[in-house]
Amino acid sequence: MKEYSAKACAKINIGLKVLGRRADGYHDIETIFQSIDLCDEISISTAEKGIQIISGHRDVPADETNLCWRAAQLLQAFSGEKRGCNIHIAKRIPVGAGLGGGSSDAAVTLRLLNRLWNLGLDDEVLFKIALKLGADVPFFLNPGSAVAYGVGEELRRFENKCVFFGVVVYPNIRISTAWAYGNLKLNLTNKKNYIKLETYFVEKLLLQEYPLFFSNDFESLVLEFYPELNEIKALILKSGADFAGLSGSGSAFFGLFQQEEKAKAALTLFDSHPYQKFFVRPYREVPD
C-alpha cells in the first residue's frame, strides 16, 4: 500500500492588526506569518473508500469536524476521485494555541493527497481549495515567511533574514478564534494612522527593531480574560528576549532571541509551571 508522509509545521504571528469588519462578516487583518519547526507528522495511505482519521491524541477529532477530513472531502468533490484514504496524525502542536496546527495539517493533507491520488493539481488550484478550508491554510502550502493581508489569504512571501532562536509557551488554555474576534473591541482610530507593513521593508528589519513595529491586537483581550498569562510574557522578556508576544488569537506566547543559550535558559524559567514549552527555530523547508 502506497503511503506518503510529511511534516506539518506551526507558525507564529509577528504582529497582528485587525483593521475592521468586512461585509462578509470576516475581518481584514495584517500580520506576518513565520513558520517554526514545531511540527505535527501527517502520514496518508489509500483506502478503497471513505476517509479515516487516525490519531492517539485526545484533541484530534476523527470526523468531519477535522480539517484534514474536510480537505480530503474537498479534493474528492473537486477531482471526482472515488478512492478514500487513511490519515494518520501524530500531534505535537497544541490545539487552540494560535499556532495554526489544524490549518497546517490540512495544507499538508492537500499536498500529500494530490500526490497519492495522482491528481496533478497545480499550486493555484490547491491554493483555492485551501482557502475554502480556512484563511491561513494557503500559507502552509509553502511555509516560510509572509506578510498577510485580507483575511490572511493575500500573501507576500519574503526571505526573513533574521536569524533567531525561539521559545513557545502554551498555558493549556484553548482559545477559539471565533470567540476572540467576537470579543475584540476594534480601535478605529488606529486605522486612521495605518501604514502597511511592507512600507517598513520587513525583510530588512533587525530582530531588536521588532518591538518598534509589531504588536498583536488580541493580546490585551486575552490578558484581560486570563490575567495570569501576564507572567508568561514578563518571564520571556526578563530572560532577555528581543521580542515577545501572543501568537494569533492565543493562547500561546513566544519569545525571539539572538542567542541560542538565552532561549534555552528562558525555558527553564517555566520548569515549575504546568505549561507546555518548546524551543523553536524558523522552518524554511520547501515542500515537495
Residue 145's nearest CA partner among 13, 5, 259, 278 is: 13
What cell does 74 get?
474537498
Out of 7, 11, 17, 277, the active site residue is: 11
Out of 17, 40, 105, 136, the active site residue is: 136
C-alpha separations of 22 from 25, 128, 165, 190, 215 in Å: 5, 20, 36, 17, 22
C-alpha separations of 54 from 43, 109, 248 in Å: 10, 13, 27
Q: Which helix (H) or strand (E) holds 13?
A: strand 3-21
**Contact between 261 and 166 (Cβ < 8 Å):** no
The Cα 29–Cα 148 span in angstroms is 8
Q: Is 264 a catalytic residue?
A: no
Q: Compute the chain's Rg from CA coordinates.
A: 19
C-alpha separations of 105 from 91, 134, 211, 239, 282 in Å: 9, 12, 30, 32, 18
Pairing of strands 276-280, 51-54: unpaired
The Cα 105–Cα 74 span in angstroms is 15
The Cα 86–Cα 32 span in angstroms is 33
Q: Is 277 a catalytic residue?
A: no
Active-site residue set:
11, 136
